[in-house]
Each structure stands twice: as structure tokens, then as C-alpha cells.
Amino acid sequence: MTETQHRASGTTAPAPESTIKTMTMAGAINAGLRAAMERDPKVLLMGEDIGALGGVFRVTDGLHKDFGDARVMDTPLAESGIVGTAIGMSMRGYRPVVEIQFDGFIFPAFNQITTQLAKMHYRSHGRIEVPVVIRVPFAGGIGAVEHHSESIEALFAHTAGLRLVSPANPQDAYDMIQQSIFSPDPVLFLEPKARYWDKGDVDTAAVRTRLDGATATADLGRARIARTGSDVTLVAYGPTMRTAMQAAEVAASEGTSVEVVDLRSISPLDFTTVIRSAKRTGRVVVVHEAPTLHGVGAEIAARVSEEAFYHLHAPVLRVGGFHTPYPGAKFEHDYLPTLDRVLDAVDRVAKH
């Protein structure tokens, strides 16, 4: 029956169901996991308390009830064993998604990740794929106790064979968790835990046509311009993106046009997007919560200096954590890159 016939008969044609929904970042990851599990029965979830409890942050809430013990598995408190098991399962054709409960708990699995997971494809001359996703709530800002607020990205980004990505909004969280799962490469999926409750619109249909392996991998490594500008390029990812956007707003009110680049992928880095922006603005500031010493920002600063040197009006500046252990909750504000610290860096480069 056509819409005209519906109207003539006094009935109303059902409106098409909207694919755009408002979600928190945690809810978007949950929805992305659900979509991936519905798409492929070989997608399995593993982790501590992810089953009936739904995880510490409730990111896997409801999935155990709907998919059962065989696909949503509570594991012993043994991160090395969890990752090792996931590696073996991936070699048998499964796509395990591992949750590390907190960032600081990943170190017992460091050997499995860096010497086994990252190298299996290379060692086998490309014959073996290990499509394991390791979900890691990371970074600070929630007032947690020791070992619960770490920025681990540089430790793993130095290891060839691993992908590291970090979403900064619910739409990317929904898209990127599925792209990670269907990528042939092992992926560390770094979830900024202080952003879990940020809300945004999510188009649940947008990612469906991009989930074949090659396209998913290409999209997964691509940065995005979150805000256009002409005076300063501000590069951030994951937990610091909200601060970067706030800094751009304040700077604009003071007459400085700031372009914000959301890296999205930490390894590989989309240098093409960053350098193109650097050449347009001539000034670059990189922001991350991890210590600036030996950090991701240092690699970006070096590459920008190499490839855009004659376009720069000022040195590339970095704003990040300090070279100390992550402090107690009362001192987080002194450690994390605050709005004032980011604006100070923007002002410094803008003066040149």
C-alpha cells in the first residue's frame, strides 16, 4: 500500500526507524559490540567481571544475558592468561575482544601483547592473522586510586604490529570498535574512561558499508579535522579532545583561529592530515595526558619539523603530563593538561 492509499484509507504509513540515536560513549561501545556480535558469531568477549556484572564501567551490560556464557566469558584475574587465550582463539578463526579492567592492570600481559600478539603475523610471513581487540579504559580524570589512571599508549605504540586507536566521541566509539573487531590486525582500543558518560548523536547505519577488512583498516588509521582554523593547529586524541575543543572556543573569542585535529589513531599516525594542517597554520601544539618525555607528541613534533619546517612560524609545543608517577586523586588537576595550560601554549605559538 502506498502512502497515498494509506491516507485515503485513514491510516498512516509507518515512519522509517531513525538510525540516529543519542548515546553515551559507554553506551555506544556497548551498541558497537552488540552489532559486531550479531554480524559475526565468531566475535567473542572475554574479561574480568564482564558477564552478569557488565564490567566495572558497565560497558558490556546486557550482552551476557543476550549472547550467553559461550560468547561473553568471565575470566580469572590473570591478564596474561586472558590475552594468551585470545591469541590462540584468534588463530583458530575467532575474533576475541578482551577487556582489561583498568589501564594499570595491562602490564602482566605486556609480554603476551608485545612479543606474541604483535609479532605473530610477521613471524608467519603473513600466513597467520591474529584479529584480537584489547579494550582498555585508560587515562585519568575520575579520581581513581593507584594503578587505575595510566596513559600507556607510548609503551605500545613503539611496538610494530599493533594498532592503537582512541575514540573521542560516541559516534567514533560506535564505529571504531566495529572497525577494530573486523580489522585483520591486533588492536588496542583505548577508551578514555573520563569520557564514558559524554553524550552525542550516533548514526548506527553509517559504519555498515565500511566493515570489510581493507576499508575498515584504512578508515581506522585516519585522523579527522574536528574544527577548522587558520592560525594554530591543535592536535589531540581521546581524553584530551574535549579540552582541545574548549581551548579552540576560548581562543576564537580572543581572536585566534585554532584548527583541532583529532588523531583517532595513535599507531599508525596519520601524518598526512597533521602536516597538511601544520602547513596551513604554521603553528602546532600537541596535547596528551601521558608525560611529554618520550611521548606521542614528541614523535609528532619531530615529523612536523622534518616535513613542514619551512612553513612553521614557531616551534612545535607539547602539553602533557609530567615525568612522574600518576598522582593521587587530589592532585590530578595539577598533573593533567588543563584548559589554562593548553591556552598558554596556543598563546605562545600565536605570538610568532
Give the three cell numbers for residue 72: 561473553
Q: Are 157 and 187 spatial neighbours (Cβ–Cβ below 8 Å)?
A: no
| Residue 7, pLDDT score | 46
Quote the mean pLDDT of the chain. Answer: 93
Taking 3-state DSSP, the helix, strand and coil percentages for the chain, each rounded to the nearest 5, stand at 40, 20, 40
> 20-220 and 224-350 share one CATH topology?
yes
Helix (H) or strand (E) holding 66: helix 63-67
Mean pLDDT calculated for residue range 226-252:
98
| Residue 19, pLDDT score | 84
Q: In what order do the strands lie in the sheet with 43-47?
A: 72-74, 43-47, 95-99, 133-138, 187-192, 163-165, 265-267
CA 161 to chain centre: 17
How crowded is residue 205: how many other Cβ atoms within 10 Å of its Cβ? 10
**If pLDDT is split at 50, 70 and 90, which confidence band does 14 have?**
low
Mean pLDDT calculated for residue range 136-163:
94
Check pLDDT > 90 for residue 50: yes
Mean pLDDT calculated for residue range 302-327:
96
- Kindly report which listed range (7-21, 25-39, 325-339) carries the lowest average pLDDT score: 7-21
Architecture of the domain delimited by 224-350: 3-Layer(aba) Sandwich (3.40)
Beta bridge partners of 321: 291
Pairing mode of beta strands 163-165, 265-267? antiparallel
DSSP 8-state class, residue 46: E
| Residue 1, pLDDT score | 44
- Catalytic member of 64, 121, 148, 288: 148
Check pLDDT > 80 for residue 9: no
Check pLDDT > 90 for residue 254: yes
**If pLDDT is split at 50, 70 and 90, which confidence band does 218 have?**
confident
Check pLDDT > 70 for residue 312: yes
Q: Per residue in 56-97, pLDDT tens?
A: 999 999 999 999 999 999 999 999 999 999 999 999 999 999
DSSP characters over 124-148:
TTTS-----EEEEEES--S---TTS
Q: Are 253 and 301 spatial neighbours (Cβ–Cβ below 8 Å)?
A: no
| Residue 12, pLDDT score | 54
Q: What are phi and psi of 10, to 5 degrees?
A: 85, 5
| Residue 2, pLDDT score | 47
Mean pLDDT calculated for residue range 241-260:
98
User: Which residue in the block uniquely carries the three cell numbers 610471513?
Assistant: 125
Residue 158 is a catalytic residue: no
DSSP 3-state of 161: coil
Give the three cell numbers for residue 81: 592468561
Query: Which range has highest mean pLDDT (6-10, 142-146, 298-302)?
Result: 298-302
Check pLDDT > 80 for residue 158: yes
CA 21 to chain centre: 20
Domain boundaries, the chain: 20-220, 224-350
Inter-CA distances, 78 with 106, 107, 154, 341, Å: 10, 11, 23, 39
| Residue 6, pLDDT score | 46
Beta bridge partners of 236: 262
DSSP 3-state of 255: coil
* Cis-peptide into 96, omega within 30 deg: no
How crowded is residue 94: how many other Cβ atoms within 10 Å of its Cβ? 18
**If pLDDT is split at 50, 70 and 90, which confidence band does 205 have?**
confident
| Residue 207, pLDDT score | 83
The domain made up of 20-220 is a member of CATH 3.40.50.300 = no
Beta bridge partners of 234: 260, 285
Helix (H) or strand (E) holding 38: helix 25-39
Among 34, 64, 67, 37, smallest CA distance to 52 is for: 64
Give the three cell numbers for residue 168: 573521542
| Residue 209, pLDDT score | 66
| Residue 180, pLDDT score | 96
Mean pLDDT calculated for residue range 314-322:
97
Among 150, 161, 347, 345, smallest CA distance to 236 is for: 345
| Residue 124, pLDDT score | 94
